[in-house]
Amino acid sequence: MKKQLKKKVQATSKQHVMAHCRCVCGCSLNNNLNASYGKVNYNYI
Amino acid sequence: MAFLDDGLNMNLLTELQKVELYTVKDGKVAVCSAENKGSEITHGTICVKIFVQSVKVKVYIISIEILDSKKRCSADKLVAALQWVCQMGIKIINLSLGTSFFQDEMILRRCVNQLAGEGHIIVAAQNNNSFVTYPATFTNVIGVSASPQNQDILLNTEYKFDGIELLGKSEHEIEIQGNKIVTQHASSFATPYITAIVSNLYQDGQNVWEMKNKLCLLCGIGHLELRKFDWCSRAVIIQSRSFSCEDRCFCFEVHQKYFFDEIEWKAEEIKDIFTQKTADTLIIAGKCEKVNDWIKKEGISIPYTLMIRDDIRTISKIFCLERTYMIFHQDFRKLFIDRAFENLDIPIIIIYYDNKKEIVRSVVRANHEFADNGYHCKIFMDSAAGVLYGFESCGEAFRIKDYIEFNFVDLIIILIDMNNKIQELDGDLNLRYGVSKDFELNLLPNMEYRNIYEYIEEQL
């Protein structure tokens, strides 16, 4: 089967540099010391 | 030492005597206005807490706030902060952050290489999902990830291409306003711990590579091997007269070029270049044994050496010198073992070429077009000279599936000299650049007079 070049969505933001903690919402460290941490919400496009 | 992060909350860092706070505004570093952050536990505050409780020498901390409230920023902002750090002569830099976006790679690589050339040591965190992360992946950076069982410090031996040398302790007990908390298992918090070790080991004038070797010794290993060609800003090339390459497409600046038969009477000139630190790399293209002996005899001290040879690997491990990276003719048959390509979900394009210089020019141009249109294209070339144009090479333990997954690659182009055609290779799209003596190859679409990017995009 022929493979296809996947359609890309152009980046709308240039904010690709991020902290490497595992904080899901990006700010839960501040209010909840016992916050449960999941995977990084990685989305680069 | 500098922390580039989301700023410090000084209410929680009362133990620190002397700290300077800066921020980046409109591309320039400015003094941070005294803002009361209340009891907000910033990411940077946690990193500094970890650093302070592990460092044993007296350090002066400078914080540069680059991340916003969502702990994000652009690569441009990171570069602006790094360049300021360079101007200020701050030698050790902690980056508990990074990006995996491929278009950020070149701007960060250039900046990092400039800093490394001036003796700065950057300690940077890898993404927590183990994706290739910039700047942590670069040779001129100490790349850090969290150790699996919270061990203090380990040498990473698993993935050859992610550029992460060290795994460090990330779960630290820290005290914030009388409460003890344990930090997450994350690269962000392993990085300041390694930075503290770096600060403890640091001696004036040491560069990043010397520091890496010190860290290796701490882990019980002799010295690190170079794993990829990404460190070079300015090179001196010594080549055989038969070696041909496309100078206009080099991914670095060439300071001076010499032929093998000229070096005896240019010895002083070459020595001066490296003594004055005008170049950071010596590239030896062609049969290198004699040049190697000559360098040893002359006692020339060279930061990094790249050896490229278009023959099959014959040099014994004895020649694997420190700070030396060797590339031989690339044999792609091993990538096709077990039909590994068929299980990949990205297209593989094979282009058979007859003119090395022309195909390099065309493919480099096509690669820019792919990038401009949001596609991350990686190029492999059978000639060892491919690395000079920023093309990839596959080392001994190269695993194509992992490479694609962890680099977010969208398509791969493999360039093969049609005079060295390997029968087994069959990609998703097979193309020809030039005319072959082989009847079968001449049946493939000829790319010579077409725009490679447009044609590939149209076909896929």
pLDDT band of residue A7 (cuts 50, 70, 90) is: confident
Question: What pLDDT is recorded for position A38?
Answer: 29
pLDDT bracket for residue B292 (50, 70, 90): confident
Q: Which residue of A has its CA nearest to B181?
A: A33
CB atoms near residue B449 (< 10 Å): 6
Asked if B96 lies within 8 A of A21 by C-beta distance, the reply is yes
Tokens of B166: 């060290």
* Residue among B62, B85, B54, B16 nearest B194 (CA): B54
Task: Please tell me the least confidently modeled range out of B38-47, B70-79, B286-295, B336-345.
Answer: B336-345
pLDDT band at B186 (very low <50, low <70, confident <90, very high): very high
Task: Identify the pLDDT of residue B116.
Answer: 96
pLDDT band at residue B142 under the 50/70/90 scheme: very high
Picking from B41, B126, B347, the nearest residue to A3 by CB comes out as B347
CB B432 within 8 A of CB B417: no
Contact (Cβ atoms closer than 8 angstroms) between residue B148 and residue B157: no
Q: Which of B3, B59, B52, B56 is nearest to B32 (CA)?
A: B3
pLDDT at B309 over 60: yes
pLDDT at residue B422 is higher than 80: no
Percentage, residues of chain B above pLDDT 70? 95
Q: What percent of chain B has pLDDT over 90?
A: 67
The single-letter DSSP state of residue B446 is: B
For A30-42, the pLDDT digits (tens) are 333 333 222 233 2
Q: How far is A36 from chain B (nearest CA, A)?
A: 10
pLDDT digit string, tens, across residues B205-248: 999 999 999 999 998 876 778 888 999 999 999 999 989 899 99
- Cα torsion through B80, B201, B58, B4, rounded to 10: 20
Q: What is the pLDDT of residue B310?
A: 85
Give chain A's contact residues with B (Cβ, < 8 Å).
2-6, 8-11, 14-23, 26-27, 29-30, 33, 37, 39-40, 42, 44-45
CA separation for the pair B58, B18 (Å, rounded): 11
* Spatial separation of the C-alpha atoms in residues B63 and B21, rounded to whole Å: 5
Mutate to test the interface with A, among B39, B45, B72, B172 (most CBs of A within 10 A): B72
Is the confidence at residue B137, as pLDDT, over 50?
Answer: yes
d(CA B433, CA B449): 9
Tokens of B181: 């908390």
Q: Which residues of B touch A45 (CB under 8 A)?
A: 374
The pLDDT of residue A25 is: 41
> If you average pLDDT over every residue of chain B, what do you get?
90
